[in-house]
Chain A
Amino acid sequence: MSGTTQHAELALYDYSPYERRPKIEWPNGARLAFWVAPNIEFYELDPPLNPHRKPWPHPYPPVPGYSIRDYGNRVGHHRQMAVLDKYGVRGSISLSAALCEHHPEIIALCAERNWEFFSHGIYNTRYTYGLNEDQEREMIEDAMVTIERAVGQRPAGYLAPALSHSNHTIDLFAEAGGLYTCDLFHDDQPTWVKTRSGKPFVSIPYSLELNDTIAYVVQKMEPRRYGEIIRRAFDQLYEEGAESGTVMCIPTHNYQVSCPHRLRAFEEALEYITGHSDVWVTTGREIAEYSLTHLKDQIGGHSEALA
């Protein structure tokens, strides 16, 4: 961290116990808002060295890490897209903006399906760490403009690149016109986020626990077990959603979930979830817009700017 960084407790949202909350009602009486967030990322072979975080465990050229991520774009993308098409799921893409320039073919395939594109920084090898506020604003704006130029719509959501943050990240993204963040894992329902501009801004549950890379690389799960934990999470959230609407997200990566020995487990989980009647199969943006428009009180909304 730079010398000017102040360390403070998190003040982005108010505490709110999960019992006795105001009821959240989703469109058409759905119990659960379900979204899938494919991370479509570009990792650079030789990024400039950020002193706060090494991009690769191996010396240059980092063949193992780089090549499997490239596999996701070359091979995996089509595979996951076909499965999402089959179950009527529009992806909400967590996008490395530079991929618009490197691989426009992927962007075109997603755009013609009316998928959502949200910002995941420029590259997943460029971190927020060490950037001053102006530099971070420039990086966030660069990603917004790059994606808007490619797909015609300014992104509404942000997942900071490689989950790297500063104290200003969420404030800056709200000021850049964003509506929601995927960086906070504190809840299974949307939460109003207090930013310094006081603009309406919401945290939409994204899940690290159901994230395929966490499951496969960190938890080292067998593929069938990954499918099983997704179904268990769904059962619980669907049951609770009868009382007050919940959100479930499956974040994916084409170099993990789309491998031929893993796709079946994911497909079976999608078949199970979309086979239930009271599921709103949607996107991050639609959940955010609905929450900010119709659920402001239920999610703890404030309108006053913070001092």
Chain B
Amino acid sequence: MSDELLVYSRRDYGMDHDRYEWSMLQDRPPIAWPDGKPLALWINLSLQHFPLSGDKPRVAPPGALTMPYPDLRHYTLRDYGNRVGIYRLLKLMEQYQASPSLAISGALAERYPQLLERLAKTPFEWLGHGWNMLSMHAGEIDLQIEAEWIHNTRVALEAFTDQPIGGWLSPGRIQSTHTPELLVKNGFRYHCDWVNDELPYIFRTGEGDMTCLPSSLELDDVFVLTQNLHSEDSFAQQVMDAADLLIKEGREHGGRLLSLNFHPWLVGQPHRIRTVREILQALLVERGDAIWHTSPSHIIEAAQA
């Protein structure tokens, strides 16, 4: 065996790459959210298009189609989110006066303009969420193709909204070596893909700095319910336990952030929507005094003030 296995090229202080600085949450100056609230809450809804056909990407996203063509069962179950689930979620969000962000596959703008027009009537912040759920920004994908996915997503979404789109969530929270640079070139100011922190931090790219606002995978509905196979009640319990711990830390050490990510095709199902209601009730009503619920851009702005 070659000695290469015992050679350590980046064995030194800090990280073993140049994307960001090493820093422990507890050592940073405390963040003050508006009104002295200890906890900021970011809720994201991911609106996704899973194509019925197309080349299988190097990395399959959560929820990927798995059966031989035509995989009607998974295709239509995911499509359910864009026809039914999202409307249930919007109704709940509006009832609770919540401010979720909407991460949207660019392809949905072409396929379902009615849906995009409805979303444009909300005050909710939009994020680019890849072109579709086969456009995985992973491994050695062609730079030109990846650049088109990002550019086309921005253009497709901006045709429906006047708001600037500054945020990006990659399908499956994965990136190629070029993704951050391409995002900056296309005007994105933050991405949510690296889950290494609970607060926004500066992320370096060859095109200038951007922000990473980590979107928690560990409390993502698809991760908890379909990968871990936990019950709906356990999911709600976990969210509340997380909120209570972070509220306590926020009071003692400075503002904390809870990020939740819901998928309309999953929690928009009739047997799961109740859990989203319970979570909104627990966070926005029962813990409302301690929680500042707002859009991701406002959270970044306040954290970096």
Q: Which of A59, A139, A220 contacts B140 (CB 8 A)?
A: A59
The reply on A132 being an interface residue by CB < 8 A is yes
Give me the interface of A with B, judged by CB distance under 8 Å. 2, 42, 44-46, 48, 50, 58-61, 63-64, 66-68, 70-71, 73-75, 77-79, 98, 101-106, 122-123, 126, 130-132, 135, 138-139, 142, 216, 220, 222-224, 259-265
Q: A44-B16, A126-B5, A135-B3 are in contact. Are A71 and B196 (CB under 8 A)?
A: yes
Residues of B close to A77: CB separation below 8 A: 24
Q: Say yes or no: A135 contacts B6, CB within 8 Å.
A: yes
The reply on B234 being an interface residue by CB < 8 A is yes
Q: How far is the CA of A63 from the CA of B217 in the complex (A)?
A: 12
Q: Say yes or no: B241 contacts A260, CB within 8 Å.
A: yes
Q: Which of B12, B58, B193, B244 contacts A59 (CB 8 A)?
A: B58
Q: Would you give the 0/1 interface string for B263-305, flagging 1 where the beta carbon is closer than 8 Å to chain A?
A: 0000000000000000000000000000000000000000000
Q: Say yes or no: B8 contacts A2, CB within 8 Å.
A: no
Residues of B close to A74: CB separation below 8 A: 22-25, 196-197
Chain B 3-29 residues near chain A, CB threshold 8 A:
3-8, 10-17, 22-27
The residue among B27, B138, B193 with the most chain A CB atoms within 10 A of its own CB is B138
Q: How far is the CA of A142 from the CA of B15 in the complex (A)?
A: 20
Extra 17 A-B pairs, beta carbons < 8 Å, given A78-B24, A142-B6: A45-B17, A61-B17, A63-B175, A67-B214, A70-B196, A73-B24, A102-B15, A103-B22, A106-B24, A123-B8, A135-B3, A222-B238, A223-B238, A261-B219, A261-B241, A262-B238, A263-B241
Q: Which of A50, A79, A101 contacts B13 (CB 8 A)?
A: A101
28 of the cross-chain contacts (CB-CB < 8 Å) are A58-B59, A58-B139, A59-B59, A59-B138, A59-B140, A61-B176, A63-B193, A63-B194, A64-B172, A70-B194, A73-B24, A74-B25, A75-B198, A102-B15, A103-B22, A126-B5, A131-B1, A216-B228, A259-B218, A260-B198, A260-B241, A261-B218, A261-B238, A261-B245, A262-B241, A263-B241, A264-B245, A265-B241
| Chain B binding surface SS class | loop
B173 CB, nearest partner CB in chain A, Å? 6
Give me the interface of B with A, judged by CB distance under 8 Å. 1, 3-8, 10-17, 22-27, 58-59, 138-140, 172-177, 193-198, 214, 217-219, 227-231, 234, 237-239, 241-246, 249, 258
Q: Which of B4, B58, B237 contacts A224 (CB 8 A)?
A: B237
Residues of B close to A131: CB separation below 8 A: 1, 5-6
Residues of B close to A126: CB separation below 8 A: 5-6
A119 CB, nearest partner CB in chain B, Å? 15
